[in-house]
Amino acid sequence: MSLGPNAFGLSLAILTALFWGALPMALKNILPAVDAFTIVCLRFWVAAAWVWLGPAPRRVRTSDTSWNRRDILLLAIATAGLGSNFVLFNSSVAYLSASACQILAQAGPVLLLVGSVVVLREPFLPIQGIGVVTLLAGMLMFFSTRLGDLAGGSSMLLGLFLGLAASVVWACYGLAQKVLLRSTSPTRIMRVIYPCCALAMTPLATPSAVLDANPFQLGCLLFACLNTIIAYGAFAKAMSCWHAAKVSAIVTTTPLFTMTLETLAHAALPAFWPEESFSMSSIAGAIIAVLGALGIALGPMLRLPHLPRPASRNSTPGKNL
């Protein structure tokens, strides 16, 4: 028996949040053996192969026009933004817990919202303002138990800087992508961005480092490479068959998925995943941050009397990774 559109869309959205939530956990196990540039390079090459050789090219509209000078500039910004985001986010995982990285990643939607208001002159709704304040309060509460480490100038401070920088460059990518999506499809954009990022990372990569990884780390590396195409494929399909507001609501819970997966992973395989203890303040902060992200994502939808299903080409197929 086939699933209805609601159940199918919900399943895809949960799959997206699950894979995005598990990604930093896999990266944390790979980084001791393989550097961030090599990991990112491999992930982009796998994504480029999929978007060119998989089913995606058949969905590219033949009516798309050629790139003009402005489009090329925006593509360059989007490519630099996404490539830098991957490297910075992957690097931050070496200094922070997986859940902390996901909480920091929620700063991306805030910066994208600010950029959309300032650069693209999009409306700023009161509920979004409340969402920004709520998100920032949740992030402060989540890191409140670690303020002593930050004040002491530990490596955690470097991880915090890398995570926030990843959100900044992702917002730049998102702004450029928003403008490009007005005239072309997401698949056509990613067919340019993925190979360009892969080529840019190739000189910085050290493929021989993969040989030093143990079987478990190689499995995590394979998961990280497949994560890009599976998570984004599920996300794009969910956006095309379900309400965008509902998909956004599920995806913004990614930090909670990460915290749950960290707890379960340590219980099942304590030798591979160290225990990540969460205080009540951290748990409450994560929940508050997610609620703030919900307010930012769903704000434009909540003012409408109903939730129309937008075309999938208007979505932004990108997230902090």
Sign of CA dihedral 317, 193, 167, 229: positive
Q: pLDDT at position 13, please?
A: 87
Residue with tokens 């190739």: 202
Q: How far apart are CA 267 and CA 19, in angstroms?
A: 19
Report how many helices (DSSP H) and strands (DSSP E) the chain contains, helices first.
13, 0
Q: How far apart are CA 301 and CA 86, in angstroms?
A: 29
Per-residue model confidence as pLDDT tens for the chain (321 residues): 456 667 888 898 899 899 999 999 999 999 999 999 999 999 999 999 998 987 654 545 444 567 888 999 999 999 999 999 999 999 999 988 888 899 989 888 888 888 888 888 888 888 888 988 999 999 988 887 766 555 555 678 888 899 999 999 999 998 998 898 888 888 888 899 999 999 999 999 999 999 989 999 999 999 999 998 898 888 878 877 777 667 777 888 889 999 999 888 888 888 777 777 778 888 899 999 999 888 887 776 665 444 444 444 444 555 666
Query: Which residues 6+ apart lie within 8 Å of 88 measured at CB?
Result: 162, 163, 165, 166, 169
**Backbone torsion region of residue 219, taken as left when φ is above 0, otherwise alpha when ψ lies between -120 and 50, otherwise beta:** alpha
Torsion, Cα 153 102 273 27, to 10 degrees, reads -90
**pTM recorded for the entire structure:** 0.85
Q: Are 99 and 286 in contact (CB under 8 A)?
A: yes
Q: pLDDT at position 312, please?
A: 46
